[in-house]
Amino acid sequence: MAETTPLIKVRDVHFSRGSKLIFDGVDMDIQRGKVTAIMGPSGTGKTTLLKLIGGQLRPSAGSIEVDGQNIHQLKHKQLYQLRKKMGMLFQSGALLTDITVFDNVAFPLREHTKLPESMIRHLVLMKLHAVGLRGARDLMPAELSGGMARRVALARAIALDPMMIMYDEPFTGQDPISMGVLVQLIRLLNDVLGLSSIVVSHDVKETCAIADYVYLVSAGKVVEHGSPEQLAQSDSEWSQQFMQGMADGPVPFHYAAKEYAKDLLGVEA
Amino acid sequence: MLDYLQRLGATSLSMFERLGRGSVFFVNVLLSIPSVVVRPRLLVAQVYSVGVLSFSLIIISGLFVGMVLALQGFYTLSDFGAEGMLGVMVAASLVRELGPVVTALLFAGRAGSALTAEIGLMKATEQLSGMEMMAVDPVKRIMAPRFLAGLISMPILATLFSAVGVLGGYFIGVGLLGIDEGGFWSQMQAKIDFDQDIINGLIKSVVFGWVVTWIAIFEGYDAIPTSEGVGRATTRTVVHSAFAILLLDFILTALMFGDV
């Protein structure tokens, strides 16, 4: 029974930064074993949503349950226990810059387990092999390309064999080869390791290629959700504009301004 | 006028809010210290980084300050025929005041600014967030070892500064100006009191170490995670530390030596 319940339940979540409303009643279910994508224009708070799910931010109203536990009612120790089962891949990779690739991947194992160093070495090499970077173990993070840094971060995120991974804009700024590798890795790791994945992105083509379910978020609300195929055939003009990357539509090309001619002539509106 | 009052109120509120955040942060760091004691390797690495790497700066500065003190002191004391007291003057000035104060100011510039920049950049590059999501508490793993390292390093550095300063005074007083060597050391031994001078100087250096390291790690932790934000936080560390050191020095001096 528990297997069929969603891994994450987001219910009526409201969140503001200062006077700016970011979420105005968001509901979502993230299913176990699936790749769920959260897409939307830049600045809609997709990364904020991941931080809310990870308990790094607190909503002003509503609740978020992860694996049956309301994450914002957990004590500090319980929250950290739960986070051991949650992996997160940051947009920048967030690797520790003063230690090698090997030590970065070994970091969570050394922090949370008492495994002997010989076993940590095996585990780290296995995780690095899974992302194709076993040969880069002795490099420093500064010596890695953006795509390699994200793959190392991915190896680190799976080091403790988590139940889920959250990917924050994994494809941004990647060349086609790195992007292809990341797309393939996200799907492969999800299926082989039996994970649940949340991919936050605005790269429609790549994300839809691997997502089982997609939530479209804009202006603080879930605009539409469904499988990539369902969204491709949506009647919503906004969804069509976003999915097909059209320059003009319900989201206008021009930022709100006074009339063009009057503006050029310097006439007050 | 109303605008001015409003701005004053808003500035005061934000200052107290920041002070409150800083105090809560400090309590969290204090509560995390037991976790550092269990993992001394983290502490040793930080003592090396903030303490040992400051040695050359402290030794060179201490030497020159001691030499200048001896030069200046000699010409004043010789007017009264009291050149023999040069050793006492140099040692008392260093142990009571200049050792802790100048070391703390140099420490804020060298180690404090480095701590703020390091922690601020870790925040800007999401390394602290990454640690939180790996269930590693950055306060325990990053802040507490650095705080404890600052607290341990400052008295050692201040002692080193004073010791090297006294040697600098000796080179100038005895070596260059020809003061009697026996008198230089014996007067110093007779007049410098262990409790009144040395212990009080050490207490000052511990207090300065606490305040500088607290300011430095809090500014880094609280920095706006952009290059400009980290730059401003680093500047604030040096400026606020300098104010705090000089203010606390006055208060501590009044408490320690006010009745002498």
Which whole number is the average pLDDT over A187-200?
92
- Out of A83, A92, A107, whose CB is closest to B126? A92
N-terminal to C-terminal alpha carbon distance within chain B? 48
Distance from CA of A111 to the nearest CA of B (A): 7
Share of chain B above pLDDT 90, in %: 82
With beta carbons under 8 A apart, name residues in chain B contacting A87: 133
Which residues in chain B are closer than 8 Å to A156, comparing Cβ atoms? Answer: 134
Average confidence score pLDDT of chain A: 89
Determine the Cα–Cα distance for residues B164 and B103; give it in Å rounded to an integer.
12
Question: Over the stretch A9-51, which tens digit does the pLDDT of each residue have?
Answer: 999 999 998 888 899 989 999 999 999 999 988 888 888 999 9
Q: Could you tell me the pLDDT band of residue B104, with boundaries at 50, 70 and 90?
A: very high
Q: What's the longest Cα–Cα distance across chain A?
A: 75
Phi, psi (rounded to 5 degrees) for A195: -85, 175
Which residues of chain A lie closer than 8 angstroms to B133, CB-CB? 54, 56, 83, 86-88
CB contact under 8 A, A83 and B130: no
Rounded Cα distance between B117 and B236, Å, is 11
Distance from CA of A17 to the nearest CA of B (A): 15
| Partner B contacted by A92 (CB < 8 A) | yes
CB neighbours of A250 closer than 8 A, spacing ≥ 6? Answer: A237, A238, A241
Tens of pLDDT, residue by residue over A216-260, are 998 888 988 999 888 888 877 777 777 777 777 777 677 778 888
ipTM score of complex: 0.83
Facing B135 at nearest CB: one of A80, A95, A156 = A80
Q: Which residue has the tokens 């200046």?
A: B72
A238 touches chain B (CB under 8 A): no
Indicate whether B227 pLDDT > 60.
yes
**Residue A132 bridge partners (DSSP):** none
The DSSP string of B145-204 is: HHHHHHHHHHHHHHHHHHHHHHHHHHIIIIIIS---HHHHHHHHHHH--IIIIIIHHHHH
CA distance A255 to B231: 33
A8-17 and A61-66: which strand pairing? antiparallel
Give the chain A residue whose CA is nearest to the CA of B35.
A111
The verdict on a CB contact (< 8 Å) between B132 and A91 is no
Burial code (b: 16+ CB inside 10 Å, e: under 16) for B153-187 equals: bbbbbbbbbbbbbbbbbbebbbeebebeeebbeeb
> Which of B129, B132, B135 is facing A112, going by the closest CB pair?
B135
Confidence of residue A177 (pLDDT cuts 50, 70, 90): confident
Rounded CA separation B214/B146 (Å):
9
Nearest CA to A37 out of A149, A197, A246, A236 is that of A197
Pick from A84, A92, A96: CB nearest B135: A84
B230: Cα within 13 Å, side-chain hemisphere: 15
A88 CA: distance to closest CA in chain B (Å)? 7
B136 chain-A contacts, CB cut-off 8 A: 107-108, 111-112
C-alpha distance from B138 to closest chain A C-alpha (Å) = 12
Mean pLDDT of B143-149: 95
Looking at every residue in chain B, the average pLDDT score rounds to: 93
Region A166-171 average pLDDT: 90
Confidence of residue A124 (pLDDT cuts 50, 70, 90): very high
**How far, rounded to the nearest angstrom, does the alpha carbon of residue A199 sit from its chain's CA centroid?**
4
Does the beta carbon of A96 lie under 8 angstroms from any beta carbon of chain B? yes
Pick the range with the lowest mean pLDDT from B61-70, B193-202, B214-223.
B193-202
Give residue B175's pLDDT band: very low, low, confident or very high (50, 70, 90).
very high
The answer to whether the CB of B43 falls within 8 A of the CB of B145 is yes
CB contact under 8 A, A83 and B137: no
- Chain B residues closer than 8 Å to A90 by CB: 126, 129-130
B-chain residue closest to A81, CA distance? B135
Chain B: residues touching A (Cβ < 8 Å): 125-127, 129-130, 132-137, 141
- Helix axis angle, B200-221 to B227-257, nearest 10°: 160
Query: What is the pLDDT at residue A1?
Result: 42
Give mean pLDDT, residues B251-256.
Answer: 92
pLDDT at B82: 85
Burial class (CB in 10 A: 0-12, 13-18, 19+), B86: buried
Q: To the nearest 10°, report the CA torsion of B117, B122, B123, B125.
A: 120
Give the A:B interface size as CB pairs under 8 Å.
50
Q: What is the four-CA torsion angle of B100, B101, B102, B108, rounded to 10 degrees?
A: 100
Tokens 């809560």 correspond to B24
- pLDDT (0 to 100) of residue A269: 55
CA dist B45 and B51 (Å) reads 10
Q: Which residues of A touch B132 (CB under 8 A)?
A: 54, 56, 83
pLDDT for the residue numbered A147: 86
pLDDT value at residue A196: 93
Decide if B220 contacts B238 (C-beta within 8 A): no
CA dihedral of residues B225, B228, B229, B231 (deg, nearest 10): 120
The torsion of the CA quartet B230, B234, B236, B238, rounded to 10 degrees, works out to: 180
Predicted TM-score (pTM) of this structure: 0.86
Confidence tier at B61 by pLDDT (50, 70, 90): very high
- Cα–Cα distance measured from residue A50 to residue A167, given in angstroms and rounded to the nearest whole number: 9
Residue among B125, B134, B135 whose CB faces A92 most closely: B125
In this predicted structure, the answer to whether residue A153 has a pLDDT above a threshold of 90 is yes
CA distance A215 to chain B (A): 23
**pLDDT mean over A106-110:** 94
**Burial level of A105, CB count in 10 A (0-12/13-18/19+)?**
buried
Distance from CA of A62 to the nearest CA of B (A): 22
